[in-house]
Chains A and B, each alone.
Chain A
C-alpha cells in the first residue's frame, strides 16, 4: 500500500556567522519501510529520532530532501499538485495535541466539514449528513456539532480530530502520537476507538508513538527509529519477544513495568547519555556512541538493514548479542 524508500529530510540551520559553514539537521536520513494494505505499522523512537518528520514527509506536509514514496503503486514525488491533491483525499493525519490542532474559532461541525468543502464533495445537505455520520462513528453526538473546541475535553477533541481525518473516507491515516497528550483512562478509550475504526473501515495506519505499551497494543508491525534511520523492523510479536538491535533491547529494558514476566525476561540495560545531535550524526553505526557492544567496525562502517529472521530486519553488525553482559 505504502512504500517508503530511502527517505531523507534535511533542514538547514541558521548560519552562525557569514563565513560559517551552513549546517544541516539530518532529521530523517535514509528511512525505508513499507506498509501492506489494512495493516498498522508502528514507528517508535525517542524524541529527535525523526518519527514525526517521517509521517509529515509522507503526506508532503514537509518536502522530503530525497527518497521515493509510493502510495498504491504510484510515486507521490512525480505528481503535479492537482493529481497529488486528489491523492491526498485518500491519506489523512491525526496530530498529537488536541488543543492546538483544532481552530478555536470554528465549531466542531465546521472543523470536520472543512475537508469536504476543500475537495468540493457533495451538496450542502450531503456534506451535513456525512459530518453527522462521522460524528456518531467516533462516538460524538451529532448535536455537539455546534460547540466550539474549548467546550470539549481532551479525549473528545481527539475524537473530533479523528472525525476530521475520516470524513473523506481515506484509506491511509498517519497517527502522530494520537494519545500522548491524554490522560491514562482516556488513552484506552481513544486506542480502542482507533482499533475498532481500523477494523471496520479497513484502514491502513502509520502509528507514531514513543510509548512501547501503546505500540505493542495496536500495531501489526513495528519499526524502531534512531537518529533518522530505521534500525530494526519486525512483526510485533517477533520484536517484543526477541529484539535483535542493541538499541531496541535497551529501549525495552528501560520501560517501567509491573509485569514480573517481563521484569525477569528483560535484563536491565542502561544507556549512558542522550541521543546525539542530528546535525553531526556519529560516523558508521549511529548508535555506536551509546552502544554497550560497539567495536571498531561499528565506528567506521555503517550497518545496512538486513533480514535476520523471516520479516525481521536489523541494521547492526552484531545483531542479537546479549548486550546486558557487556553493559
Chain B
C-alpha cells in the first residue's frame, strides 16, 4: 500500500459516501452530529478519518454500518453507495447480510468486544455460520485458516481457548479474524491499536498491510494519530465538529495542510525530534476544546479556536476544491501556510 499520488479514477470505487447527514434528537431538539460528509474509497486502498474525539469519526463508521442507535439518532439525508447499492435505503434484512459479510468492523477495545464465555473458535465460527452454509468440519477448517492468516501461533490449541487466556494483541488478532471471516470488501478499523503496546501495534499494522496486499480489502482507518496515518493510509479525511474539513492524499495533507485545524493537529502531537533545539520548543497548542454540538453557530465551527480567524468566518466556508479529491473547508484554503513551517 505504498501511497500513490495519482487520483485513482480508473480503479473501482468500493464505497461512496455522499452528503451524509446524521441527526440526534436531544432535549427535544434535532442536533446535527454529521453534516454533509462525502468521500470515496477505492478497491484495495486505505482512507484514514482523523480528528479529536467528538468530531464524528466513529459516527461516520456507525452510519456506514447502519448501526446508529435509533431513536435518538437517524440518518437524515445523503447516500452511502456500497458497490452501487444505497445502504441507507435497503431493508433491515439486507443490511444484516451486508454487515459482517461485505463490510465488517474492528473496535478499539479487544478486551470488551469478545464474549468471555465462548471460545474464540466459536466466536469466529459464528460469523461464518451466519453468512454461509457448510459442515462443522469445513467451518472448523476455515476458522483454523483464519487463525493462521492473523498469525496466531498454535491455532489448533488456541481455537478452544477463551478470551481471558489471550494477551491484548492476540485478542485484537482474533477480532481481526472475525472481521475477515467472510472476506469482506471493506473493513472499518476504529482505533484498532490504541489499547495496545507499540511493539504489538507494529505487528498488527504489518498484519493489516499483509492482508490488504493478499486480499485487496479496502480499509477505513479511524485514528487521531498522524503517525499511524502516514504508516497505513493512502488518503486522509480530516473531520471537525461533524464536518469534513479537509481531504487529500497522505502526502498532500501532511506536507501541505490547508485547514488551520489540520495544521494544529499536525503540530501539537509530540514527536521524537533528533534536533535538540527543536525538541526543546514548546508544543503548538490548539486552545480550547471541541465545540458542544448543542450550541453550534452558523459560521465556521473551528473559528473560536482558530489562529487565522477573520471577520469572514462568521459565515460557514464552502468546501474549496483544490484538485481532484483534494479540498479544504476554509476561506483561506488557497493559501499555503504563511511561514515555512515544518509539519514533519
8 Å CB contacts to A: which residues of B251-283? 254, 264-265, 268-274, 276, 279, 282-283
Q: Which residues of A contact B276 (CB under 8 A)?
A: 237
Q: Closest CB-CB distance, B187 to chain A, in whole Å?
A: 19
Q: Which of A188, A189, A262 contacts B269 (CB 8 A)?
A: A188
A270 within 8 A of B: yes
Q: List 26 A-B contacts (CB under 8 A).
A: A46-B199, A183-B53, A184-B225, A184-B268, A185-B268, A188-B268, A188-B269, A191-B270, A195-B282, A211-B270, A216-B270, A217-B273, A241-B274, A250-B199, A252-B272, A254-B198, A256-B227, A256-B228, A256-B230, A258-B227, A258-B344, A261-B344, A265-B274, A270-B203, A270-B206, A274-B170
| Contact status A185-B272, CB under 8 Å | no
> For A183, what are the chain B residues with a Cβ–Cβ distance below 8 Å?
52-53, 224, 290
Known: A184-B52, A192-B282, A270-B206. A46 touches B198 (CB 8 A): yes
A213 to B169, CA, bound (A): 22
Q: Mark A250-279, 1 if CB is under 8 A from B, else 0.
A: 111111111111100100001101110000
Residue in B167, B206, B224, B254 whose CB lies within 8 Å of A184: B224
B269 to chain A: closest CB distance in Å? 6
Contact A254 B268 (CB under 8 A): no
Number of B positions contacting A (CB below 8 A)? 46
Chain A residues in 8 Å Cβ range of B274: 237, 240-241, 261-262, 265
- The reply on A24 being an interface residue by CB < 8 A is no
Chain B interface (Cβ < 8 Å from any Cβ of A): 52-53, 153, 167, 169-170, 197-203, 205-206, 224-232, 254, 264-265, 268-274, 276, 279, 282-287, 289-290, 343-344
Chain B residues in 8 Å Cβ range of A251: 198-199
How does the 8 Å CB contact mask read for A223-260 relative to B, with 1 for contact and 0 for none? 00000000000001100110000000011111111111
A189 contacts which of B201, B206, B285 (Cβ < 8 Å)? B285
In the complex, A253→B231 CA distance in Å? 12
Nearest-Cβ distance from residue A327 to partner chain B, whole angstroms: 12
- Check A210–B286 contact: CB distance below 8 A: no
Of listed B167, B272, B285, residue having the most chain A CB within 10 A: B272
Would you call A214 an interface residue if the criterion is a C-beta within 8 Å of the partner chain's C-beta atoms?
A: yes
Specify which of A185, A191, A237, A241 lies most central, judged by the most chain B CB atoms within 10 Å of its CB: A185
Is there contact, CB below 8 Å, between B279 and A217? yes
Q: Which residues of A contact B198 (CB under 8 A)?
A: 46, 210, 212, 251, 254-255
Whole-angstrom distance from the CB of A270 to the nearest CB of chain B?
Answer: 6
Complex: A214 Cα to B282 Cα, angstroms: 12
A260 and B344 contact, Cβ closer than 8 Å, known pairs A184-B52, A254-B199, A270-B203: yes
> For residues 191 through 224 of chain A, which have their beta carbon under 8 Å from a beta carbon of chain B?
191-192, 195-196, 210-214, 216-218
Q: What per-residue 1/0 map shows which CB atoms of A46-76 lie under 8 Å from chain B?
A: 1100000000000000000000000000000
Contact, CB under 8 Å: A188 / B270: yes
| B53 to A, closest residue via Cβ | A183
CB-based nearest A residue for B52: A183
Given A258-B230, A262-B274, A274-B200, also A216-B279 (CB < 8 A) = yes
